[in-house]
Chains A and B, each alone.
Chain A
Amino acid sequence: MIVKDAVCPFCGCLCDDIEVEVEEGRVVAVTNACELGTTKFMGEKRMKNPILRDGDRWKDITYDEAVRYAADVLLEAERPLLYGWSGTHGEAQCVGVHMAELIRGVIDNTSSVCHGPSILAIQEVGHPGCTLGVVKNRADLVIYWGSNPIDAHPRHLSRYTRYAEGFFLENAFRDRKVIVIDVRKTETANIADEFVQIRPGGDYAVLSALRAIVQGKADTIPRTVAGVTREQLVRVANLCMNAKFGAVYFGLGLTMTQGKYKNIRNAIELVSELSRHTKFTISAMRGHYNVYGSNEVNTWMTGYPFGIDFSRGIAFYNPGETTAVDILARKECDAALIVGSDPAAHFPRKCLEHLADIPVVQLDPYPNATTAFCNVQIPVAVTGIDAEGTAYRMDGVPIRTRKVLSTDYLSDEEVLARMYARMQEVLEQ
């Protein structure tokens, strides 16, 4: 059987043109996906059933036992943390928010260690953006800043920018210029028309210099700015102002380096400035396939995109205080539920030390680094492979993922709904 137009549950590109060939309940071939997506579709070695830590070994348990354990641990906690969410579908995220509200926990998603600073910048100055198709059809200038799509979002270039056909471009490859701005010459820099190499930590200064040039103050720019010559800066600024439609895509190279959210604020303000001359947009290269969906769900349900603390009953948001890393580092958290992410692979050591000391329940189809910190792990269906559900592409376009396989695994939503029902039952008693 071949499933057409399947949706790839890997990165924020959320490619929805994948063909998946299934034979005898297994994916045997994947067409159109990049290497990352193909690996995910073909992925095996899934955990078979829920497991419970029993001393230094694992004990197999049933879903009912696992759900009961998870619900009780979270109910008993004074400051439970519900973290992750970017690797699951929106329907599960909604249950997560209700659960956090019910048990007065903190719910946070992976953006707090990813594009969180980008969101803070947007909350200060807004976000002039667009859907990916607008760029594909119109942009004659694309800038990748601190992002390396060839490695991280491999089909971004072919579906939306460098190699994409565009309605208003006669010969898209020839007529579209690509600029890469980074601290090192990445693979993406190799296919760019212009590469701007910035000294590490110099992004903010370069952005300010470009803003000054766009404002007509090129004469105030020193000979070099963070290792970039004035001539190149003027050339780049002119390319921007002479473009009919320019699009900036930035990655963690801008968000998580020196200056952090100030870098993004500066970049957005550059784009707002350019919008007075021509058409310009800016967008973040979101990582997980549904990290943006997690921000969306949290926002319509609680008012905030991440880092929401329900300990006072109301939704309270203060990134740096109510975000997962901070709550773990301060050793506040006394139980954690991890869904659709792998914090043990990304969090600082100090946080992991605390995670090792508290009860942790993880919902994940595969054993991962966080498994080593878990008391219970509950394997679930993979959204986009054996579960359907809503995901939001990096540009905010919501797509329903398809189910290409039938398995007996429960989805994240089903497991969470059972936990939530159990919690309501206990609280009512």
Chain B
Amino acid sequence: MTELLVKNACVIDPLRGINAEVMDIAIRDGKIVEEVSDAAEVIDARGMLTMPGGVDSHTHICGTKVNFGRYMSPEDMRAGRTPRRGPLHATSGYSVPTTYGNSYRYSVMGYTTLLEGAMAPLEARHTHEEFTYTPLQDTMANTLFDGNWGIMEAIHDGDIKRVAAIIAWTLSAVKGFGIKLTNPGGTEAWQWGKNVSCIRDPVPYFEVTPAEIIRSVVEANELLHLPHSVHLHCNNLGTPGNYSCTLGTFGLIPDLNEKRQTLYATHVQFHAYGGSGWKDFCSKSEPIARYVDMRPQIVMDMGQVMFGRTTTMTADGPMEFNLYRLHHEKWSNHDVELETGSGIIPVIYRRKNLVNSIMWAIGLELALLTKSPWQCLLTTDNPNGAPFVKYPEIIGLLMSKKYRDAEFATIHPDTEARVPLPAIERELDWYEIAVMTRAGQARALGIQDLGKGHLAPGADADVAIYPLKIDEVDPSAEYQKVIDGFSRTEYTIKRGRVVARRGDCLVHGTNATFWVKPKVPENYDMGKDPDFIEKFDRYYTVRMSNYPVQEEYLARNRCIETEADL
């Protein structure tokens, strides 16, 4: 039995409605408990800001395309390297760090749970291998279903239950957590070098529209009672005027779940653009935020862009090709049979570039204009908008109008006429930041009942203690203190153990992976469905028996079983 007592912590724990109460946190054997014995090790938090461990509900850290981003970018690997030291392995990389690099840097910032945003089922084993080497966080993987042939055929036949059954079989087979749709239909069209422009374009051959894919998969998701909602990267990412496509997409979504949203719309910054071309490109954050305000069934994340060099990577292959034609940088693409695809290019977001400046403003506007912080979570779509190490700066910007104005003065001068940002006075408070970086993310993922994102007895003892005295710091004026504080925890506690202290990781941990296994009736078991098996055998290049990811690939296995309504 190991016990730990964090004393005098200034706790913000939004899922329990706790806002800046000084209290003790008792921990036994990796869990939060009511109390511990006198023998417990004691940490005196001395009134420092203490929150549940950070949760990133959309990041790209592990798997085929992430690793290809590293593989093709020795220049990025050179841009961030640390030697082997004590229990720590060497790390490389700035925008796409090695697995240890990701794990250590997230840990130093107080993050303990990460969701990989896009895993191709056929290549799932790779994602799980990298999870094993991400030792200081628990992980889960959104699984790509945007171009899944079996699902599109079932939708064409109007058979939602079969859609659900295919998802159930696949998630169980690949040890996936949630459903990801990336440019639904577009990734299949891209395997012919084509794309869909918005939700009403039919997918070549399959003759279903993105709208039908989204609606059907949303329904299937709820039939399966998955913890998370459908996680959507909308069609038409990155193009001027795409906000109307985004609003049209949001309009498809009924409110089907009492506990959480019905749709998680990711990196909405990239989908909130006005204008008819690059010349009149402008922000449409206001209509998007207003729309989301009125629809509790939608949660989004920012997808904030920050200036500097990064690497873009997404399953949205056609979008990356368009980006390649704009930037003329190196371009990688990787289509995955019967399922999905991906693309990668490096980019530099520049202050002197008008479009980039507008993008920067839009992300902040979404967070500041959306009334409820539970509906707009803090992300950069790491590393697409910026590497996650920029999160503290984003927190600083959201908490300080003064900081925003200072930054605004350095960006392209024409930005002012294209964005509402300068007129927004709102400054987020500590509680709202806690929502946007852990509580809201855990609720959106549906993992609060699994002990994530809060500090109630029974929860996983994942705690972040920041060297910030919130009654002594005025974030509005002293934003640099805020940035410094969120960059380096005083203590990061993972599963009841101090894993990072003042910028240094202290131990080698063991990753736990959350995955979902929906129980379906016998007649919906695709593993026994003759048509499914026949198509699998004929058109995949891997045998069906070799496709499922074995449990050997999970360091700590956290299986979530659900009962499907089929």
Contacts and interface: CB of A to CB of B under 8 A. Distances in A.
A263 interface: no
Given A126-B345, A279-B193, A303-B81, A131 B541 contact: yes
A159 interface: yes
Judged by DSSP, the binding face of A is mixed
Contact of B333 (A129, A299, A301, A313): A129
Given A102-B84, A396-B64, A300 B331 contact: no
B90 A315 contact: yes
Interface in B48-83: 62, 64, 67-68, 70-74, 77-78, 81-83
B542 interface: yes
Contacts of B129: 90, 300, 390, 398
A128 B122 contact: no
Contacts of B122: 131, 133, 397
Nearest to A282: B333
Pick the most buried of B72, B90, B126: most chain A CB atoms within 10 A of its CB. B90
B133 interface: yes
B523 interface: no
Pick the most buried of B81, B129, B130: most chain A CB atoms within 10 A of its CB. B129
A152 to B, nearest CB: 18
A102 B86 CA distance: 11
Given A275-B321, A310-B84, A314-B82, A302 B344 contact: no
Given A126-B332, A138-B191, A302 B92 contact: yes
Interface residues of A, number: 63
Given A303-B98, A396-B334, A133 B123 contact: no
Pick the most buried of B67, B71, B84, B129: most chain A CB atoms within 10 A of its CB. B71
Nearest to B85: A313
Interface in A296-350: 296, 299-305, 310, 312-315, 317
Nearest to A276: B325
A304 B74 contact: yes
Given A128-B331, A310-B84, A301 B125 contact: no
Interface in A146-198: 159-160, 165, 167-168
Contacts, number: 186
A300 B332 contact: no
Interface in B210-245: none
A418 interface: no
A101 B81 CA distance: 13
A299 B550 CA distance: 23
Interface in A99-155: 101-102, 119, 122-134, 136-138
Contacts of B286: none
A28 B443 CA distance: 56
B320 to A, nearest CB: 10
Contact of B332 (A127, A299, A305, A315): A127
Contacts of A98: 89
B489 to A, nearest CB: 24
Nearest to A137: B539
Contact of B338 (A124, A129, A133): A133
Given A302-B98, A314-B90, A122 B71 contact: yes
Contacts of B77: 303-304, 315, 317
A238 to B, nearest CB: 17
A295 interface: yes
Pick the most buried of A131, A137, A168, A390: most chain B CB atoms within 10 A of its CB. A131
How many residues of B sit at the interface, in one of the four size bands? 35 or more
A400 B553 CA distance: 10
Given A122-B71, A127-B68, A130-B333, A302 B90 contact: yes
A279 B192 contact: yes
Nearest to B92: A303
Interface in B515-548: 538-543, 545-546
B128 to A, nearest CB: 9
A16 B543 contact: yes
A126 B330 contact: yes
Contacts of A399: 125, 542, 546
Contacts of A160: 541
B486 interface: no
Interface string A397-414: 111100000000000000
B245 to A, nearest CB: 24
A124 B72 CA distance: 7
A300 B541 contact: no
Interface string B181-199: 0000000000111000000
Given A133-B338, A301-B99, A400-B550, A167 B72 contact: no
Contacts of B74: 123, 303-304, 317
Contacts of B73: 123
B337 interface: yes
A295 B71 CA distance: 8
A398 B330 contact: no
Given A5-B543, A315-B90, A317-B77, A398 B334 contact: no
B92 A315 contact: yes
A295 B72 CA distance: 11
Contacts of A90: 129
B546 A131 contact: no
Interface in B319-339: 321, 324-325, 330-338
A257 interface: no
B23 to A, nearest CB: 40
B539 A133 contact: yes
B541 A159 contact: yes
A281 interface: yes
A305 B73 CA distance: 10
Interface string B98-109: 111100000000
A272 interface: yes
Contacts of B325: 276
A392 B552 CA distance: 17
B337 A315 contact: no
A225 interface: no
Contact of B81 (A125, A275, A315, A396): A315
Nearest to B125: A398
A181 B192 CA distance: 24
Given A90-B129, A130-B333, 7 more contacts: A16-B542, A128-B332, A129-B334, A131-B122, A131-B337, A136-B539, A276-B325
Interface of B: 62, 64, 67-68, 70-74, 77-78, 81-85, 89-93, 97-101, 122-123, 125-126, 129-130, 133, 191-193, 205, 321, 324-325, 330-338, 341, 344-345, 538-543, 545-546, 550, 552
Interface of A: 4-5, 7, 16-17, 90, 94, 98, 101-102, 119, 122-134, 136-138, 159-160, 165, 167-168, 244-245, 272, 275-276, 278-281, 295-296, 299-305, 310, 312-315, 317, 390, 392, 396-400
27 contacts: A5-B543, A7-B546, A16-B543, A101-B90, A123-B72, A123-B73, A125-B330, A125-B331, A126-B331, A126-B345, A128-B331, A130-B335, A136-B539, A137-B539, A167-B538, A245-B191, A275-B193, A300-B70, A310-B84, A313-B85, A314-B82, A315-B90, A317-B74, A397-B541, A398-B125, A399-B546, A400-B546
